[in-house]
Structure 1
Amino acid sequence: MALLGTLVNGALIIVGVAIGLLFRNIPERMKETVLFGIGLVVLLLGIQMALEGSNIVLILLSVLSGAVIGESMQLEEKLNAIGHWIESKVSIKNQGNIAQGFITATLIFVIGAMAVIGALDSGLRNDHEVLITKAFLDGFMALILTSTLGFGVIFSVIPVVLYQGSIALGAAYINQWIPQSAMELFITELTATGGLLIIAIGLNILQITKIRIANLLPSILTLFLFWSIYTFIF
């Protein structure tokens, strides 16, 4: 079952949110310190991922072109609008900023090599180990994020399942067209590009910057474009 790992991932995020809601009534000072702790861990994770890159030109072109596309499309504003629309429909008091919880959790859970590699393993080899490992990590992160950012974290399950599920279901076709060596190169540069975006998330959580991270998301797609050109030429 290609979607098993993805479904387990979604289920453990929901469990993490449910447990996190029990820890909402903690002092604001403690919440702030815990949130900064999350920011530091996210920053470390992003740095580790970013350092795996081997082709800086490919990453640079992807990030720059992705930023231009994202700003032109105003993706950050659109994601915020979705979050605020959910907030207006879900009438729950004292559950924090639903839009912030939704966007922050979605970016943390979706961006990264584990989501792509795990989904590919699920689709190509019916091996769900990577996604199930990611599921436990995401579940714990969902618990922490919910205790600080609120109920909005639970809505991140939707993009996580759609994103990873689509990759898993399409993996069989990818395997037929792309050589293994080329796929390894793509995953390496995808990890590095995703790492840069995760660094941006960490900096925002630490309130050091106010980077419009969602407007950088097209970098993942433009990376695929430039990687295709690169592998065709070389």
Structure 2
Amino acid sequence: MIGLGTIINVGTVLAGTTIGLLLKNGLPQRFERTILQALGLCTFFIGIGGAVSGLVTIENGALATQHTMLLVLCLMLGALIGEGIDIEARLDRLGEACKRKLSDEGDSRFVEGFVTASLLFCVGAMAIVGALEDGLSGDPSILIAKAILDGIAAIVFAASLGKGVYLSAVTLAIYQGGITLLAGAIRPWLSDALISQISCIGSVLIFGLGFNLMFDKKVKVGNLLPAMFLPILFYFLGRFIPAVGAL
């Protein structure tokens, strides 16, 4: 059944969020900050691992880097586009609107839970590759593996950030489900190398999420989201301009 992987993934996020909220209600307040720091630390290393795997190679027995300039250009241009649209503010306004309808005023981290969980669940290679596999061959195995990881993450997120994590399931369904439904149309345009580049930039954004969670800072990860899709632009430009293709 095409789409089964996303359905299972959404289900584990909802179940994990429910478990996390039960834990949150049963834990003393002093545990929240430590749990949040632990989550930030894990997110750090998820981001670092993905970024390093995309940027570092071994050539002739020595470490070398690749796509560094592509990363810089995508992040810079992505920041300009994202700030121009102000994606972060739009996500915050959406979260606030949902908070007014779905949450109580005491849930102070509703918006942060929605935005942070949405970005973590949707940014990364497993979401793209798994959705493509599900859409093209009906094989949900990658998304089922992702669903287990996301469910565990949802427990920790909800225990720290509250009910807003529930809303991330909607973002996940739209993003991942959309790729699944459009898989036949977009797969010929997505080479393995291109997916790797998108995933690498996504991992850098995940690192930014970890930074926010660990240090209670505000890297505008939402405004950097366009950077994830700019490798597609450079890929097509590289067909006509060899210097661009060498980035």
CA distance in 2, matches of 1:12, 1:208: 27
CA distance in 2, matches of 1:167, 1:91: 30
Q: In structure 2, which of residues 202, 219, 230 is the aligned counterpart of residue 222 of structure 1?
A: 230
Shift of 1:232: 4.9
Q: Residue in 2 aligned with 1:13?
A: 13
Q: Does residue 114 in structure 1 map to residue 126 in structure 2?
A: yes
Structure 2 unaligned residues grouped into runs of 5+: 55-65, 243-247
Q: Does residue 166 in structure 1 map to residue 178 in structure 2?
A: yes
Q: Residue in 1 aligned with 2:62?
A: none
Provide Cα deviations, 1:26-64, integer angstroms capped at 9, x if missing partner: 122211111101101100000011112231222221111
Q: How many pairs are equivalent?
A: 230
Q: 2:198–2:229: 8 Å Cα contact kept in structure 1?
A: no
Q: Residue in 2 aligned with 1:126?
A: 138
CA distance in 2, matches of 1:231, 1:52: 25
Q: Residue in 1 aligned with 2:192?
A: 184
CA distance in 2, matches of 1:100, 1:91: 13
Higher mean C-alpha displacement, 22-31 vs 33-42:
22-31
Instruction: Tell me: CA distance 1:65–1:120, structure 2 relative to 1, closer, same or farther (3 Å).
Output: same
Provide Cα deviations, 1:150-204, integer angstroms capped at 9, x if missing partner: 01100001110110111111111224x43xxx61111111111001100000000
Q: Residue in 1 aligned with 2:47?
A: 46
CA distance in 1, matches of 2:99, 2:145: 31
SS in 1 for 2:2: coil
Q: 1:97–1:152: 8 Å Cα contact kept in structure 2?
A: yes
SS in 1 for 2:191: helix
CA distance in 2, matches of 1:131, 1:168: 11
TM-score norm. by structure 2 comes to 0.88
Q: 1:6–1:165: 8 Å Cα contact kept in structure 2?
A: yes
Shift of 1:221: 2.1
Q: Does residue 37 in structure 1 map to residue 38 in structure 2?
A: yes
Q: 1:58–1:227: 8 Å Cα contact kept in structure 2?
A: no
Shift of 1:18: 1.1
TM-score norm. by structure 1 comes to 0.93
Instruction: Tell me: CA distance 1:14–1:233, structure 2 relative to 1, closer, same or farther (3 Å).
Output: same
Structure 1 unaligned residues grouped into runs of 5+: none
User: After superposition, where does 1:91-106 map in structure 2 within 5 Å?
Assistant: 91-92=103-104, 94-106=106-118
Shift of 1:135: 0.5
Q: Residue in 2 aligned with 1:213?
A: 221
CA distance in 1, matches of 2:239, 2:71: 14
| Residue identity opposite 2:90 in structure 1 | K
Q: Does residue 22 in structure 1 map to residue 22 in structure 2?
A: yes
SS in 2 for 1:82: helix
CA distance in 2, matches of 1:107, 1:206: 16
Provide Cα deviations, 1:5-35, integer angstroms capped at 9, x if missing partner: 0111001100011111111231222111111
Q: Residue in 2 aligned with 1:196?
A: 204
Instruction: Tell me: CA distance 1:232–1:120, structure 2 relative to 1, closer, same or farther (3 Å).
Output: farther
Shift of 1:91: 3.8
SS in 1 for 2:201: helix
Shift of 1:212: 0.7
Instruction: Tell me: CA distance 1:123–1:91, structure 2 relative to 1, closer, same or farther (3 Å).
Output: closer
